[in-house]
Structure 1
Amino acid sequence: MIIMETERLTLRPWLDTDADALFRYASEPDIGNQAGWPPHKSVDESREIIRTVFSSPTVWAIVLKDTGEPIGSVGYMESFDLNIPARPGEAMAGYWVAKPYWNKGICTEALAEMIRHIRETTQIPSLICCHFTDNPASGRVMEKCGFIPTGEISIDDNQHGGKNRPMRILRLEF
């Protein structure tokens, strides 16, 4: 079990006991809409997401040290089925944070720490990341962490809210 820490955050595996907090934030329509997934409809659904999607060893809860509450997630996948032009061996990074914590540097801090971990412990050659073009704040997080725009735009109808909604692609080489 990998746990990482920054000045304000602990990045740790998700727990079943986080389901209430996850539902509180992931049921907010603006969160899922920006991240490409539908809002959670119940605590049970959030618990199931923890047990399936968030059970990966490369997905962490973003937890505020001050409160111990999970307020978002950061992670990466070495294989994925999205309409994104990835290179062989490239992993895809992703993150989200609860709306009350937008524009506070939380995602930048969490993503930077995860990148440090990847560089120090894996052989992954590069990361790819994307954001819907109507969410430029997410692109700024990526750029602050060293991601470079590829100039590519993709549309992935499989993403919740992705139909005819362009995504900007960025890459970080190690």
Structure 2
Amino acid sequence: MPIALRRVHDSDLPVFFRQMNDPESLEMAAFTPKDPADRDAFDAHWQRIRASSDVLRTILADGDVVGSAAVYGQPGEREVTYWVDRAYWGRGIATQALAALLSEVRERPLFARAAADNTGSLRVLAKCGFRPTARAAGFANARGRETEEIVLRLET
């Protein structure tokens, strides 16, 4: 399935909000906002990051909005993140989208984090060249408990 990245449009935000409120997706992502159903907090977050120097992209598959991908943070500590609608999992979309984002953002090193049991995301990151460098634990809002995460790094 061909994918494309483009800048985030206002019309993408309701789609992102719906995607971020899917219970199975939240459980898998683990490290989510405290209350993903808080639309005011969601809108404030997107307003803030859209005004920043972060690189934010909408993921399109066959022209449909299926998720988002971003690079954010301070130079030398920048991280990647992505979210793909659960209906599109297992089709290689996250891998293609992350690879496209990485070809656009040439800055290195880049970091990523994923719940240790999120094998799909860990596989996507490995396919794109990220390598595990550490393990950490933090409170995962979506799970309501401490959850182990893997910290990954991309050098080239």
Taking structure 2 as the reference length, what is the TM-score of the superposition? 0.82
Match of 1:62 among 59, 64, 75: 59
Name the counterpart of 2:13.
Answer: 19
Deviation at 1:153, TM superposition (A): 0.5
1:99 paired with 2:82, answer no
SS of equivalent to 1:166: strand
Name the CA distance, whole Å, in 2 between partners of 1:139 and 1:19: 26
Name the counterpart of 1:169.
Answer: 151
The runs of 5 or more residues in structure 2 that have no matched partner are none
Cα deviation 1:37-93 (Å, max 9, x = unaligned): 1463266665444323455441111122x2x332111111132xxxxxxxx713111
Identity of aligned residues (%): 32
- 8 A Cα contact 1:132 1:165, kept in partner: yes
SS of equivalent to 1:134: coil
Larger RCO (CA within 8 A; separation ≥ 6): 2
Equivalences for residues 123-142 of structure 1 within 5 A: 124-142=107-125
SS of equivalent to 2:146: coil
Letter in 1 for 2:148: P
Match of 2:47 among 48, 51, 57: 51
Q: Over aligned residues, Cα RMSD in angstroms? A: 2.4
Size of the aligned set, in residue pairs, is: 152
The runs of 5 or more residues in structure 1 that have no matched partner are 1-6, 80-87
Name the CA distance, whole Å, in 1 between partners of 2:154 and 2:144: 23
Name the CA distance, whole Å, in 1 between partners of 2:78 and 2:32: 19
More strand by share: 2
- 8 A Cα contact 1:93 1:128, kept in partner: yes
Letter in 2 for 1:92: E
Name the CA distance, whole Å, in 2 between partners of 1:45 and 1:63: 25
Name the CA distance, whole Å, in 1 between partners of 2:19 and 2:101: 22
